[in-house]
Amino acid sequence: MIELKRTVRLCIGTSSGAGSTLPPQMTRRSNTFSAWPAMRGLGRYLEIDVTCHGHIETETGYMRNINQIDEAVRDHVLGYLEDLVSGPEDPAGIALGETMRTILRRLEPPLQDTVACLCLRLTPYFSLEIRSDGMNHITVGQQYEFAAAHRLHQTHLADEKNRQLFGKCNNAAGHGHNYRIEVSVRAPIDPAGHVFAVEELDNLVADHVLEKLDHKHLNIDVPEFADRNPSVENIAQVIWSLLEDKLDGLGSIAGAQLEQITVWETAKTACTYRGKQQAGGADN
C-alpha cells in the first residue's frame, strides 16, 4: 500500500468556474501550475491536497493517474465551492467541518474510494485536514512568527568544545532568527458541522507562546531554556509544553487535542514535534 498526494490549485468567486460562459480561450487549462480557473479579479485562491492510497498497477506503474485527481476536483468540487462562496450565506458562517466532509464524499466515487486524506489550504498559512477514517474530526493548522535571539551553548562543556560543536552559533553575544511555527490541533466537528474559530487558537498562541518568546533572548529571558540548549528541536518541545494543557481555552468546541508543532528556524531548517506519546514515549 502506498500513498500519492496531488495538489490542485483553484481560483473561485470570479465567475470563472463551473458553468461559466467564458470563451474557450479563457477556459483553456494552459496553466494549472498557477491555478485553474485562473484569477480574474478579486476572488479566492485555494489549494486542495488529495492523498490517495492503494497499490501500483502493473500495466501503467501508476497507483492513480494524477489527471484523474485533477478532473475529480474540478468536476465534482469546483462548482460546489463556487456555489458556497457566491451564495446568500455569510462566508464567515460556513460550517467548515461539514464542508470538508462534503468535499471528501464528492471525491470518493470518481476516485473509487481511494481518498485517504484531504487538506484544504484557505491561505498559505491556514489549513484544514480530514481523513477518510476520521470523518468526525478536523486537523486545523495555523502558522505564526516570532523573532528571538539565542546562543547554542552547553554549560557542562568546555568553551573550545562548544565552539567546535556550534561554530558561529556559539557566539557569546548570541544571534537572531525570524522563527515561523505551525500549530496543528485535532478537534471534533460539532453537530452543526463547525469546528472552533481559528481566532481562538490565535489568541491562545499569542498569550502563551508569542508573549513569552517574541523579541526575547531565549537563553536569558525564557526560564524554560535555563537548563536546555535553545536548538530548534528544543524550541519545538517547549512550545508544545506551553500549549498542551491550554486547549480547554478553545471554548467553542470541546475535545481539541494538540497534534504537532513545527518550527522553522530558517527556510531550510525545520523541526516537528508530536509529543511523547506520538513519538513512542521518547523525548526526541
Query: Mean pLDDT across the stretch 12-28?
Result: 60
| CA-based nearest residue to 120, from 9, 212, 271 | 9
At residue 251 the predicted structure's pLDDT band, cuts being 50, 70 and 90, is low
pLDDT tens for residues 33-69?
999 888 888 889 999 999 999 999 999 999 999 999 9
Judge whether residue 281 has pLDDT over 80. Answer: no
| Rg from Cα positions in the chain | 22
**Which pLDDT belongs to residue 38?**
85
Three-class SS of residue 216? strand
| CA-based nearest residue to 209, from 178, 231, 248, 181 | 181
Domains (ranges, CATH) in the chain? 1-132 (3.30.479.10), 136-284 (3.30.479.10)
At residue 278 the predicted structure's pLDDT band, cuts being 50, 70 and 90, is low
**Which pLDDT belongs to residue 19?**
47
Decide if 215 is catalytic.
yes
pLDDT tens for residues 165-212?
999 999 999 999 999 999 999 999 999 999 999 999 999 999 999 999
**Helix (H), strand (E) at residue 67:** helix 66-76
pLDDT tens for residues 81-119?
999 988 877 878 899 999 999 999 999 999 999 999 999
At residue 16 the predicted structure's pLDDT band, cuts being 50, 70 and 90, is very low
| CA-based nearest residue to 217, from 125, 122, 273, 148 | 148
- Is the pTM higher than 0.75? The answer reads yes
Q: How deeply is 80 buried, as exposed, middle or buried, from its count of CB atoms within 10 A (0-12, 13-18, 19+)?
A: middle
pLDDT > 90 in the chain, percent: 77
Residue 93 CB neighbours (<10 A): 7
Contact 147, 178 (CB under 8 A): yes
Rounded distance, CA 204 to CA 162, Å? 36
Rounded distance, CA 50 to CA 123, Å? 17
pLDDT tens for residues 205-225?
999 999 999 999 999 999 999
Those residues whose C-beta lies under 8 Å from the C-beta of residue 31, and which sit 6 or more positions away, are 38
Decide if 71 is catalytic.
no
Rounded distance, CA 35 to CA 14, Å? 13
Decide if 169 is catalytic.
yes
State the average pLDDT for the chain: 90
Query: Mean pLDDT across the stretch 236-258?
Result: 87
**Which pLDDT belongs to residue 282?**
39
Catalytic residue among 71, 169, 233, 271: 169
At residue 17 the predicted structure's pLDDT band, cuts being 50, 70 and 90, is very low
